[in-house]
Amino acid sequence: MALTRKSPTIQDVARHAGVSTATVSRALSMPERVSQATRERIAVAVTATGYTLNQAARSLRRQRAGTIVMAMPNAGNPYYSTILDAVLAEAGHRGYGVLVSNRVQGDPTIWLRDYFLSSRADGLLLFDITLDVSGMRRFMEERGNLPIVVVCDEIIEPGFNLVTSDNREATGRAVQHLVDLGHQHIGLVAGPTIHDYPNERTLGFRQALARHGLAMREDWIIAGDHSIGSGYQAGSQFVALDERPSAVVCANDEMALGFISSVQQAGLHCPRDVSVVGFDDIDMAQYVSPALTTMRQKRAELATISTSALIDIVEGVRDPAKPVRIILRCDLIARASTAPPKGAAVRPAREFRF
């Protein structure tokens, strides 16, 4: 193996260009402060020596890592693919690297310690919807404000920077869609609860049923964990019910796909025997059969906006006294997995309700 030659440093460039390291440094990060001629000589020296900046040294001196952490509960979930893509794009655009971190067991503040308290990263993009924020808050109060943006499906207590979707309302609109089709019996495949508290989508579902005067049957609310497998299991539970709803709302697309797969395998037909609405509109949703009706979440926008906001905070561009609070609207994408219930002939959308 060839010997790893030592990387050229700013000293080498300075020597080569016949200037001081201070000038080289300035030429690189504040070019307008250096004369045209010197700038050019330095540019030549940089290419001649093959100089690359040592980020560790810069971080140490500047007290800034040039890196953000994207923390998620489960990187294995394809839901995050689009998000990751957009986060990378925006962060790269602004000159930041992205460290990715999966859920850590135990103390949630481990992220804080491990990454940006150790000046490995400057900010945290937090996608973990099941995180206990109280521990974090205590930690933040001890340390002063830390640049964190929560990006997720849930409305977190105020004071945090938040970029999210209108999950509660959107779930209501999903129910509305089914009601408009004539459904009176609607079930839910729910996502994980947040510390024994139902999440926003579940809440939205319950409220919508109440608003429409529809019966709420607890055995029609099936617990899932957002994975395809849990949707599949929910499907089995659904099939085994004595009395089945004519439609279900699934708290995300993956569960919806698993659910449909499961009931179809059991001999039921979607949407004839059961209409299914998903949530998120993952890439796959339009390519399965039946194509999935779903609430589209603007994942790329959520990612871009939150990343940009986080970097603004890190760079002090944004007034930290005013926390970010952005809620994007989801859109219903009606596809083939929803239809009027079996019995219904023609159904005048509104008149039949209650």
CA 255 to chain centre: 17
Tell me the two tokens of residue 140: 């933040």
> E strand or H helix at 80, and its extent?
helix 79-93
Crossing angle of helices 36-49 and 10-17, rounded to 10°:
120
**Tally of CB atoms within 10 A around 350:** 8
Output 6 or 350, the one with its CB closest to DNA.
Answer: 6
Binding positions for DNA, 62-101, rule CB under 7 A: 62-63
Q: Which does 89 bind (CB under 5 to 8 A by kind): its own copies, DNA, none?
A: its own copies
Residues 209-238 that bind its own copies (CB under 8 A): 228, 231-232
- Select the residue interacting with its own copies from 44, 57, 241, 317 (CB under 8 A): 57
Largest alpha-carbon pair distance within the chain?
Answer: 87
Sign, CA dihedral 159-66-297-217, equals negative
Binding region for DNA (CB under 7 A) out of 8-16, 154-162, 241-249, 317-325: 8-16
11 binds its own copies (CB under 8 A): no
* Measured distance CA(169)–CA(210) in Å, rounded: 13
Of 110 and 216, the one with the shorter C-beta distance to its own copies is 110
How are strands ordered across the β-sheet holding 186-190?
Answer: 221-223, 186-190, 247-250, 275-280, 293-296, 331-333
Contacts of 30 (CB under 8 A, 6+ apart): none
What residues from 95 to 134 belong to the interface with its own copies (CB under 8 A)? 97-102, 113, 115, 117-120
Residue 29 as a binder of its own copies (CB under 8 A): the answer is no
Is residue 205 at the binding interface for its own copies, with CB under 8 A as the rule?
no
Binding track, positions 19-48, relative to DNA; x by CB under 7 A: xxxxx-xx-xx---xxx-xx----------
User: Residues, the chain, total?
Assistant: 354
Q: Which residues bind its own copies (CB under 8 A)?
A: 1-5, 7, 50, 52-57, 59-60, 65-67, 70, 74-78, 80-82, 84-85, 88-89, 92, 97-102, 113, 115, 117-120, 141-146, 228, 231-232, 257-258, 260-261, 264-265, 283-284, 286-289, 291, 320-321
